[in-house]
Chains A and B, each alone.
Chain A
Amino acid sequence: MKRPMRLRLLVAVGGLGLLASACGTERPLNTLDPAGPNAKIIDDLFNPIFFIAVIVFVLVQGVLIVIWRKFGVKGAESSADERPGTYADDVFPEQVHGNFKLEIGWTIVPAVFLAIVSVLTLLALFELEEVEAADDDLRVTVVGNQWWWEFQYHLDGNVETAPDFVTANEMVIPVDVEVPLWIESRDVIHSFWIPRLNGKKDAVPGRSHPWVIEASELGRFAGQCTEFCGLSHAYMQMYTEAVTQSDFDAWVAQQLTPQPALTEGDDNVVGQELFVTNCSRCHMIVGVTDTNGDEEVDGWDIYDGDSKFLAEGNLTAGAAPNLTHLMSRETFAGSFFDLYDESGEVNRDQLEAWVRNAPGEKPARNENLQGMPSFAGLSPEDLNAIVDYLETLQ
């Protein structure tokens, strides 16, 4: 009796799973709820095969149940609880040693079936590989870092030159436009994955992997780094936001505008100075001067994007998320924390906690130049000023 019960349980579990897959809003990473053509190709390949696999599963379990009911010898073992012994009788079933035709059959039939599946797989594979975008269409270089993502926008599609602007953790794309990506990494292997839009592609240091992303509906699509990348692997998330073309153009225009440098008399100029002193070593803000006061901290050429570590083990500007227009994003620190709460207010407590002691919020080995260091030494006033300043980065 236990076996049919277990089967029902499994069917129930499977059914619940499929049911759960239907409600996408609650399951932001659902792989079975495609929102873009690439994820759709994958889903269309997976679903029928998964369905056939379920049928085979049910068939095998069914046959086992039949065998159980039909060929089990009742009482053959019951009389001897602690000592099962041999069969009580000398009755033998027919001694079948095999059936060549049957076995050839169940070798060839699955092989033929799998050959068909292979053809479908290859068709899907090469369909996914096709890039329709023209050479001068938007391209984004996606760079994995411990433990956040950088998105370098090349509006003219030329990834050899410096990007037009750089943002972090949230990638904005126009809806219904295929955006080719180059996936790269600065430290260890990460994997870029927005499940509802496409499968994943590893970000391998020293390599550039082509990939595409396209959304066929508006919305924010969650992602998660899926290649184990060290301490804060779990905390390395990202979003891709699909917006209308006009919203996208407006967003690009905003991102291209340098952040106005504050001058004497502005309320937040102290915060800006503190930021330049404490943070600009790693964080760039386009339009703001650096510690020397004479050079902008947007110098892309300072940092050629190859390595986070300089020879002497020092960090360089660009080693951490670019904070230009920070407040135009909804999350920070590898998209693990929300920048705004549900009512739309700035999530100030979390932001302060992060600036004060980042490793306490998100595990990192500071001594190995991983993650953001703790600024526990800052006075509460200074901390306040910095966070005030960050809030001005609209």
Chain B
Amino acid sequence: MAADETLEITSGIDPTVERPLGVLTRPSGSTGWRSWLFSVDHKRIGIMYGAAALFFLVVGGCEALLIRLQLARPGGAVLTADQYNQVFTMHGVTMIFLVAMPLGAAFANYLVPLQIGARDVAFPRLNAFSFWCFLFGALFINSSWFLGGAADGGWFAYAPNTGVNFSPSHGLDFFAIGLQITGIASLVSAINLIVTVINLRAPGMTWFKMPVFTWMLFVVQVLLLFAIPVFTVALFLLMFDRLFDANFFNVEAGADPLLWEHLFWIFGHPEVYILILPAFGVISEVIPTFSRKPIFGYPFMVFSGIAIGFMGWGVWAHHMFASGIGPISVAAFSVSTMFIAVPTGVKILNWVATMWGGRLRFTTPMLYAVGVVSMFTVGGLSGVTHALAPADTQQTDTYYIVAHFHYVVFGGVIMGLFSGFYFWWPKAFGYMLSERRGKQGFWVMLLGFNLTFGPMHILGLQGMSRRIQTYSAGQGFDLWNMVSTIGSFFIAIAVAMFVINIYLSRKQSVHLPPVGPDPWDARSLEWMTASPTPEHNFDYVPIIEDLDDFWHRKWGEDEDGNIVRIATAEEVAQDGSRTDVHLPSPSYYPIMLSFGLPIIGYGLIFSLWLCVLGGAIVLGAIFGWIMEPADDPEAAHDHDDHGGDDATEAAALEEEVNA
């Protein structure tokens, strides 16, 4: 397989090769829009995931502002009931599936291969497919706004309220099909990253020398692998009910609506950890770096993450304490839920212990990371009060729950990932985001966040139900709703400040010296290569000797046990100058294949002829994908070397499609 090593090809330049009939020449070039559209580079895909997720963050944020405007005062008339139901449903769907999950995927894609010293993921083309599949699925769901109205059943979509009788618009069809498409994206991505982490760790990087971030992302992929199919089954049944008159949630035929609740939450609870663990991973990198200490209790950090991953499967029915599952089930799930607080608590305490005794630099990423420790604790503590099943019958479906999970997903996930943005921005783009503006943004966000969601604790305990379009004066909800609405605009300002910071920092960066490979004196491998990361990641794949290997290359101990510098980052880091690394070539087929899926989706909803068209695109793309020259010079190298065997995956995908 290593026969043609003398070919001097930089990535992407395609030599003339014999190719089977009907198969396009692989696209080439590393600049311009084509280089993004057809890229199979995990870093570009990661950046595209991030950009798409930020776009949807703005969309979902606008939906949130509409909700808050509507609820600012009793009897609000900003939105009708119908519009309100669509907006709050799509706010949830967007924030969870189109913001938090792809942001996790963005960080996973960009950083996991770098942190384990790999050149790319195991299946670069499948990786591109995952992204486009996600993006087209996301656009597909959002296109429902213009095609008769969006889903109006809540993100949890409890049957039978999601039946055609009760939700006659096509919104829920878009929901069911669109989330199956994004589900394919997540599943494929999960398989890809699991194989990447298992197979492509650099020599010497044993499991327990992997950074905590990579560990957490690995756990996330395993959770996705098992959670997504359960959700797919649920959506599948819903789709069959809505489009083909099946009886899965038809109560008059004897169906049990709790089936949906169980399927949904068996997926839905692991999903919570799918959202939060990437953020835990991020701050587990940020806190040690800015404390100048190693992470406190690495094994505990890893095992608590794994424990959360396992226990996350045994607590789903705590979302159903009021649903009538019977006292024995309630008791069992109440106790299991109680104990999932333990590994989470261990993490919080270990982060605190990492900071304790350190030399802390409160840079923007560090501020956000400390913000997570502080704010997630609030969400964790209110979570314990939900685990008291009898008390939960008072709290569930009130704003107390809304407060709880926003402290978890905003205070935890969003702030954690913002920490990651500030931390890894120089690595990805070669310039730093302004610290001054970053810190200002942090304080505005922290203020806005607490103003928005803090009062919801009070509202919930005072009995304000979730998902209500309006409330009357005289229920005692007026004041805190107004405060909350005002707070939400501070969050909007904070997000705007982040976007402005990107723009201005980029503009100003030309006058600043280059950031160098390691602007923060960081610890993990991604800082050992140039910034921005060269396309081939590493000139030479490092041999790993320690946890935090890069840091140990920079710093050592003298005979008194004091830390002394062995080398500067520039001396240790690779400069990315190597030009003879063979990389997988870009490909047309991932984007083409994923483009076919939403067309099939439109076909299912509107006209079966579109299904034929979409199916033809999908089949053509799979054919091209499989036939893409297996003896492509690039394919003889690196990870694409069994080109034809992508057929297996392609076929597996096809099966998802057919399903």
Direct contact of A and B (CB under 8 A): yes
Residues in A lying within 8 Å of B, measured CB to CB? 2, 6, 9-10, 13, 16-17, 20-21, 26-32, 39, 41-42, 45-46, 49-50, 53-54, 56-57, 60-61, 63-64, 67-68, 71-73, 76-77, 80-87, 90-100, 102-103, 106-107, 110-111, 114-115, 117-118, 120-122, 124-126, 128-129, 146, 183, 187-189, 191, 193, 195, 198-202, 204-207, 209, 222, 224-234, 306-307, 309, 363, 365, 367-368, 370
Partner of B297, one of A64, A98, A188, A207: A98
Q: Are A128 and B390 touching (Cβ within 8 A)?
A: yes
Q: Which residue of A lies closest to B362 (CB)?
A: A72
Do A31 and B395 contact each other (CB < 8 Å), given the known contacts A102-B353, A363-B82?
yes
5 example contacts (A-B, Cβ-Cβ < 8 A) are as follows A57-B378, A81-B434, A107-B346, A209-B324, A365-B168
What is the CB-to-nearest-CB distance from A213 to chain B, in angstroms, rounded to a whole number? 13
Q: How large is the interface on B (under 10, 10 to 19, 20 to 34, 35 or more residues)?
A: 35 or more
By Cβ-Cβ distance, the 10 closest A-B pairs, closest first, are: A199-B393, A29-B463, A234-B468, A98-B297, A363-B81, A27-B476, A17-B458, A209-B324, A92-B563, A188-B161
A26 and B466 alpha carbons, distance in the complex (Å): 20
A contact residues around B251 at 8 Å (CB): 205-206
Instruction: Report if B300 contacts A (CB, 8 A).
Output: yes
Q: Are B388 and A28 touching (Cβ within 8 A)?
A: no
A230 and B323 alpha carbons, distance in the complex (Å): 17
Q: Which residue of B lies closest to A313 (CB)?
A: B165
A contact residues around B474 at 8 Å (CB): 26, 28
Q: Are B85 and A189 touching (Cβ within 8 A)?
A: no
The segment out of B207-215, B277-285, B335-343, B603-611 that lies at the interface is B335-343
A368 and B161 alpha carbons, distance in the complex (Å): 12
A contact residues around B254 at 8 Å (CB): 206
A107 and B353 alpha carbons, distance in the complex (Å): 14
Cross-chain pair count, CB within 8 angstroms:
349
The segment out of B8-16, B53-61, B123-131, B255-263 that lies at the interface is B255-263
Contact with A along B521-539 (1 / 0, CB 8 A): 1000000000000000000
A91 and B555 alpha carbons, distance in the complex (Å): 11
A81 and B439 alpha carbons, distance in the complex (Å): 11
Partner of A118, one of B291, B335, B398, B458: B335
Partner of B352, one of A67, A92, A99, A307: A67
What is the CB-to-nearest-CB distance from A387 to chain B, in angstroms, rounded to a whole number? 23
Q: Which residue of A lies closest to B547 (CB)?
A: A97
Instruction: Report if B203 contacts A (CB, 8 A).
Output: no
Q: Are A206 and B256 touching (Cβ within 8 A)?
A: yes
Contact with A along B229-264 (1 / 0, CB 8 A): 000000000000000000000011011111000000
B contact residues around A64 at 8 Å (CB): 352, 370, 373-374
Do A204 and B346 contact each other (CB < 8 Å), given the known contacts A82-B436, A227-B397, A234-B469?
no
A113 and B339 alpha carbons, distance in the complex (Å): 10
Q: Are B342 and A87 touching (Cβ within 8 A)?
A: no
What is the CB-to-nearest-CB distance from A238 to chain B, in angstroms, rounded to a whole number? 12
Within 8 A of A (CB), among B309-333: 322-324, 327, 330-331
Residues in B lying within 8 Å of A, measured CB to CB? 80-82, 85, 153-154, 158, 160-161, 165-168, 251-252, 254-258, 291-294, 296-300, 322-324, 327, 330-331, 334-335, 338-339, 341-343, 345-346, 348-350, 352-353, 355-363, 370, 373-374, 377-378, 381-382, 384-385, 387-398, 432, 434-436, 443, 446-447, 450, 454-455, 457-458, 460-471, 474-476, 508, 512-513, 515, 518-521, 555, 562-565, 569
Q: Are A98 and B300 touching (Cβ within 8 A)?
A: yes
Q: Which residue of B lies closest to A194 (CB)?
A: B463
Q: Which residue of A lies closest to B85 (CB)?
A: A231
A contact residues around B292 at 8 Å (CB): 87, 92-93
A32 and B462 alpha carbons, distance in the complex (Å): 7
Q: Which residue of A lies closest to B463 (CB)?
A: A29
In addition to A82-B432, A228-B397, 5 A-B residue pairs with Cβ atoms within 8 Å of each other are A20-B458, A53-B382, A71-B359, A72-B362, A228-B466
Q: Are A97 and B296 touching (Cβ within 8 A)?
A: yes
What is the CB-to-nearest-CB distance from A33 to chain B, in angstroms, rounded to a whole number? 9
What is the CB-to-nearest-CB distance from A23 to chain B, in angstroms, rounded to a whole number? 8
Q: Are A82 and B81 touching (Cβ within 8 A)?
A: no
A contact residues around B291 at 8 Å (CB): 71, 93
Do A188 and B475 contact each other (CB < 8 Å), given the known contacts A121-B387, A201-B393, A226-B465?
no
B contact residues around A205 at 8 Å (CB): 160, 251, 257
A contact residues around B370 at 8 Å (CB): 64, 68
Q: Are B160 and A45 touching (Cβ within 8 A)?
A: no
Q: Are B323 and A110 touching (Cβ within 8 A)?
A: no
What is the CB-to-nearest-CB distance from A25 to chain B, in angstroms, rounded to a whole number? 9
| Residue with the greatest number of chain A CB neighbours at <10 A, chosen from B463, B474, B565 | B463
Q: Are B396 and A189 touching (Cβ within 8 A)?
A: no
Q: Which residue of B lies closest to A46 (CB)?
A: B391
B contact residues around A29 at 8 Å (CB): 462-464, 475-476
Q: Are B323 and A202 touching (Cβ within 8 A)?
A: yes
Do A307 and B252 contact each other (CB < 8 Å), given the known contacts A110-B341, A204-B324?
yes
Q: Are B393 and A42 touching (Cβ within 8 A)?
A: yes
Do A122 and B335 contact each other (CB < 8 Å), given the known contacts A102-B353, A201-B322?
yes
What is the CB-to-nearest-CB distance from B589 to chain A, in angstroms, rounded to a whole number? 41
A367 and B168 alpha carbons, distance in the complex (Å): 10
A contact residues around B395 at 8 Å (CB): 31
What is the CB-to-nearest-CB distance from A39 to chain B, in angstroms, rounded to a whole number? 8
